[in-house]
Amino acid sequence: MTKVFLSLIYYSFYLIFPLIILLIWLTKKRTNKKITFEIIILLTISLFLIWSRFIEPNLLITKKYNFNLENPDNKLKVIIFSDIHIGVYNEKKILDRVVKKIDKINPDLVLIPGDFVYFADEEKLNDYFSILSRIEAPKLAVLGNHDYGREENNISQRITSSLEKAGVLMIDNKTKVLEINNKRIEFIGLADIWVGNPDYSVLNSDNSESGASLRILLSHNPDSVYEVSNLNNAKKIDLMISGHTHAGQIRLPIIYKKIIPSEYGFDKGFYNINNINLFITPGIGNVALPLRFLNLPEISLMEVNF
């Protein structure tokens, strides 16, 4: 899909409003005052499209979760959000709304598992992400598959640079140890499994931070949990954080599971895969179609007890 084609899709939904006016006019013109089945169906479809295009994608919520390890003595308030997809469907203002909500929560930590853009204007990357500098808590992130752009125009380094200028610690194929609330926490990041060439050697237990009280893995695509769980001599991961699935984005019953881009059928929320605790946040933005249905854009607020 090209940016021009996606823009046409985006703006074509405004045609719904004259269609509704036409349907109402046709209904009033009927002499017998009987609304036909066809008009009812068209009105229903139109209302569905209005909700999923113009209303639900703008209803940004904060949902709370709890994650407990055995014998917890410490608490960590963590914000997780992903799949912002600034570009053809989402403007910079979505990040402004996210940051304002985070400011009110005052978390200990912010984790962003990728997909920052979707056909974004490359010249505006610094402007897009500069607002993240307002978040005072440590911010760690990895890139998602859409952050690499097209093969002939890989923009991953430019996105990484813009995010780092905003104070985001980019940990693709890296580890980082931070002291938060007087506890050492080790963060491991993996590059995207589809296009980013993940380096699983960062999970080698010989490179583990022995003094860490908690170990968190950040990987955009949750499917990589199976690659991680099959590693020999891998460090123990307490919690893996992912995005990517959009929780189906348009959650039409039964149908939505068929379109989730996961080989293993991941959706959202918590999973335990081969003794690895995995959490998938449903994301904020959209791809392919600018629609969300029964799937509000979400900032995940997790209280981690460890």
> Residue ranges per domain, the chain?
3-56, 61-305
Indicate the CATH number of 61-305 among 3.60.21.10, 3.40.50.970, 3.40.50.10680, 3.40.1350.10: 3.60.21.10
pLDDT at 82 exceeding the cut of 90: yes
Give the residue-averaged pLDDT of 221-230.
96
- How many helices (H) and strands (E) are present in the chain, helices listed first? 8, 16
Q: What is the mean pLDDT of residues 60-89?
A: 95
Please give the pLDDT value at position 233: 85
In this predicted structure, what is the pLDDT of residue 299? 98
Look up tokens 């990728």; give the residue. Answer: 114
CA-based angle 41:44:90, to the nearest 5?
135
- What is the average pLDDT across 268-277? 96
pLDDT of residue 94: 94
Looking up tokens 């992400």 gives 129
Give yes or no for residue 207 having a pLDDT over 80.
Answer: no
pLDDT at residue 67, rounded to an integer: 97
Element (H, E) at 28: helix 16-29
The mean pLDDT of 261-278, rounded to a whole number, is: 96
CA 301 to chain centre: 13
Q: What's the whole-model pTM score?
A: 0.93
215 — pLDDT class (breaks 50, 70, 90): very high
Place of tokens 């050492």: 184
Mean pLDDT comparison of 27-31, 132-136, 210-214, highest-scoring range: 132-136
Average pLDDT of the chain is 93
Listed residue (235, 221, 236) closest to 277, CA to CA: 236
pLDDT band for 26, please (50, 70, 90 cuts): confident
| Mean pLDDT score, 189-201 | 95
Q: What is the pLDDT of residue 70?
A: 84
Q: Does the pLDDT value for residue 31 go beyond 70? A: no
- Inform me whether the pLDDT recorded for 34 exceeds 70: no
185-203 average pLDDT score:
95
Q: Which of the two residues, 60 and 1, has the higher pLDDT score?
A: 60
Q: How confident is the model at residue 86 (pLDDT cuts 50, 70, 90)?
A: very high
Backbone region of residue 94 per phi and psi (left: phi > 0; alpha: psi in -120 to 50; beta: other values): alpha
Q: What is the pLDDT of residue 254?
A: 87
Token code pair at residue 159: 């996105």
Question: Over the stretch 98-142, which tens digit does the pLDDT of each residue have?
Answer: 999 999 999 999 999 999 999 999 999 999 999 999 999 999 999
Question: For residues 232 and 280, which has the higher predicted lDDT (pLDDT)?
Answer: 280
